[in-house]
Chain A
């Protein structure tokens, strides 16, 4: 297999409130000999909120981000479900609407850029599965996770809207019964936990204006994972992670449950990193608000 190379769109969270996500992503890429070129020019994707205010501006900004992957002749990978949604949605709109693409390019030309549509945009999870392959990953496992019951929490924007997901990924994830994370957990020799809330919403996007809604949705997910004997939850989305990890106490309180032990929440690359033999420091486990036991 020739060396895999991608343009990494980190998103904002991985550079601020979840530094452990960027750290662990780079750590496993090194272990797996995957080259990730950081898109330092990229701006925020708008997180679906700028889209509510100024949809055209958000298209222009996201198109600009993709331009920098295109300039490097690389496909883009994302490590945040919401970045994935907004970037992929922009690409989908521009690639299917020449008039809109021309309007966006008219603005981009003013800063010397042009959006072509030549780079694919996928979440790193699916790039790993589709390009690197779970069999190859399995071969690299040095510390099997067989002692852990791991509850996958998929996060909305990787699996819904399914039409968008299917357009950009060869993995045709079913939003009502997603399997990619479960298969990845099995490849790391962990035990994947089946539970109702694995494909449900954590409520992050209303954290500020409707904290009660957000806390209940997050609390329901954590409690469901716990009731199905999960030792740990794993998510490919840093926004889900913020809710599940940072807000865990408020969330479980909102659903009137006191946990016997806090539920550790891992980012996807942290879980992979543990199986590949990375150290807790390399994976940034010290940055979690809900402690991750050694």
Chain B
């Protein structure tokens, strides 16, 4: 199989702008993307620079982007990439703006945010224990697969919010926070939840795009952990009353009242006095028949069923 590789080249010490090398290569379908990186270095240009170590999908060093898709080079088969993108593959670092040399990026931002959730067990450890500290399987299961993260950064650099909001901690840090908030031995659950509850940096800024779930080479489903953190924030009484929490809770009130959502009421409930800033937009929408007035608000049929279910199936209070 003949491929055309477009390879991102950049040296922060000498280059003002990056450029792309075009390389034609005969490739065995059994090769993985890391084989291509090796062959670029060995057969075309010895100065080509990339990180790699274990070649077993466990060290997390070789994360790059192929045609915009975050991937671990050692795990990704070339044949699958060709099936998705055709025979022209664009090889780039996970973050072009953080490139140091070719595929190598400065992951300082990733580690800073990772550290922000205190990625270690906070517990009073008896230095001379008399017996084992046994965790029942039912408790251990709550961690799910959260322990399998290899800090490769695939999810983090695939996240669109990370791109536009430099305070946002991102999916990898949240995933790690959950790894400890779900751990029965940990004593810092509330403290961690307070960190991820903060607007701007925390889970409320997640756009729910599922890019992290697609990107994770270990199939950990970071957004699933983000949802669980949202749930824990309410369960543990950490949630503060703000536009984001009221927005989540407002759905329940609106559903109980109408079955379907009352969009206007939800915005009012979420924003409080802040609702005034939506007035110009609301006027434009009103002119186009996009706003339903309270007296015309449609209701679901058999609304009494919905009201009853909200009463008997609610599990969380706020």
Contacts and interface: CB of A to CB of B under 8 A. Distances in A.
Main secondary structure of the interface of B (DSSP, over half): helix
B283 to A, nearest CB: 10
Contacts of A46: 251, 255
A175 B215 CA distance: 11
Interface stretch (B47-55, B98-106, B205-213): B205-213
A61 B263 contact: no
Contacts of B267: 208
B218 to A, nearest CB: 14
Contacts of A16: 260-261, 263, 290-292, 298
B190 to A, nearest CB: 18
Contact of B213 (A161, A213, A289): A161
B259 A43 contact: yes
Interface in B184-225: 199-200, 204-211, 213-214, 221
15 contacts: A17-B290, A43-B306, A47-B251, A49-B251, A52-B231, A53-B231, A53-B318, A55-B231, A203-B207, A205-B207, A208-B244, A210-B200, A212-B164, A213-B205, A213-B207
Interface string A198-217: 00110111101110111011
Interface of A: 12-13, 15-19, 40-44, 46-57, 60-61, 64, 107-108, 110-113, 156-157, 160-162, 174-177, 196, 200-201, 203-206, 208-210, 212-214, 216-217, 246-247, 286-289
A127 B271 CA distance: 38
Interface string B295-318: 000101110011011101111101
Chain B interface residue count: which class?
35 or more
Given A41-B302, A47-B251, A160-B209, 17 more contacts: A17-B291, A43-B260, A43-B300, A44-B255, A49-B247, A52-B231, A53-B316, A54-B314, A156-B210, A157-B208, A157-B210, A162-B214, A176-B85, A200-B209, A209-B244, A246-B281, A246-B290
Interface string B230-270: 11001000000011100111011011000111010001001
Given A57-B314, A287-B288, A209 B204 contact: yes
Contacts of A112: 305
A44 B261 contact: yes
Contacts of A176: 67-69, 84-85, 214
Contacts of A48: 208
Contacts of A50: 248, 251-252, 255
Given A16-B263, A161-B214, A213-B205, A107 B309 contact: yes
A181 B211 CA distance: 20
B137 interface: no
Contacts of B259: 41-44
A144 B254 CA distance: 43
B160 interface: yes
B227 interface: yes
A216 B206 CA distance: 14
A41 B259 CA distance: 8
B109 interface: no
Contact of B313 (A49, A60, A205): A60
Contacts of A60: 309, 313
Contact of B308 (A44, A52, A53, A111): A111
A182 to B, nearest CB: 14
Contacts of B31: none
